Structure 1
């Protein structure tokens, strides 16, 4: 070593300078390599700034080591509920200045009371000039509905009906309509009197010997008179039951019928639109639907039926 130092001292000054520069470079390079090795050994992780907005709360800043969102939540001891959700996938590696939003989901139950409007049932003929009697006054019902309400950060986003309880039953209104009595008119040349007592029977559009079309051209079947959905036909501004009568009573004659045993209002009104081989004199037949299908009302033959020609 002494010889090495002596040789350097005897060396030219310029060579000495070059040697010193070389030695300094080697020392610096060794230092940098040492620092890199230390970093790798200590597994250094950079720190980042993130912001977390938890539910409806204001965002809060955190200085954390860079890691996945799930690891950061674990480190900060932030737990998610079963329905809570994030704006970023939990496996995402967070970056500096990133914002994490946690949506908190809760549920509550809510009860409401709602009215159920009553309906109106009408008996008789709702025609112009008809008188109306209210047989039963309608009353609205009341029901209680229970909903499961979903809240996100305290704000409702949806609701589901989970129970319904009747608190008050609905009572329908029942109204009875009575058609106005018209002035009695007897066709000139007719042998029928204004009022008489006779026999009332029912028949279907598909009865034996019937064609399904009256002598006046009205279609009769299980769908009603002229497919009206009822045993009535609209005639001369009103609704009337279809009647088959003696030829002495002209087509279009309106007859008031009472003292019958049909499941109809006590006084009914019909229009003569049909004939029949057995329908003579004071015998009247009334269309009731189909012999083998839909019947619009029930009842049998009545022998002391009161008939009055009113038009």
Structure 2
């Protein structure tokens, strides 16, 4: 029987040597591989760690670490940068942000760390007047919503002041509150406070002020009329001058933007009473019945035609009549020698008439009964030249009253009353001076 032991022992040695070589190769390979690895300081989402890697690029490093990346992730240096020993790599995943402006909303992946960075990276301009939902320093977070309300221009008219303002789409009331613009209880705002502002809108504040105004006004006087039998009918005379009184009136005045809009009388009181004017109205005669007619101015002619048989006797007896008239009738007295009174004077054509002339009733236009008062001095006038009731002085006739009218008495013409036909004949037709007394 052969001895197998040496072969067995030889076989075992061979296996042992093979295992030793294998282990050695593996150890050498491991040590070589470990020696070939590079140390990288990797910051993942804010946390830093040291990594030994055989990756040749940054992208390979992240793939080696099974990090899911997005094109919007923050990666520094770039993905294709070669790995080197003691390299620093920063990676931060992008966050999904919902950005709303006006009626539009956009979903944006961003690696910005703050709201300010986000707006800058997305090239979104924000003015001082715009309204942003977050502070610019606010950290970006996943599924964050950022809102931007853009401001627009509109016109604010505050009282008399016109301003160009900027605002977002808020109500009028909110804008006034933001700007610290106060309103008094009577002020008006157009449009209404709950109205939302819009581009180009005009907001008008009407400043309403109520003030008290005290004024003094004249109080008119009344006119009293009293009948006076001593004055000829148709004439008036002021007995007492009227004087105005004073009334104090208190008004509530409404001012809008400094201008008076309305005023309302609140109260009034008499400071000084007025004094009535008293006027005396003449009632010496009754209202006239009939004027002496259009033929009065021709009293001499009509009388002569009515009594033709007597005319020669009258003419032959004229001197005696003149003597009698001088002693018994005031109408034929030589008044020219007396001192004339002051007054407005004019020259007129004059004729004479009697109470019983043809067409005469004996009652004047102002109601004087000439038949009952034959000694009265009365003249007929044109009222547009000499007012009825005027006191006058007639050259050659004396003091008289303008108390009658006549159809033929027009313009600068008068008719003097004489008690009888003889005196009327004697007067004839003459130019005389007449004064209208004050």
Task: Give TM-score, length-normalised by structure 1.
Answer: 0.44
| Structure with larger Rg | 2
- Which structure's residues are more often helix, by fraction? 2
RCO higher in 1 or 2 (8 Å CA, sep ≥ 6)? 1
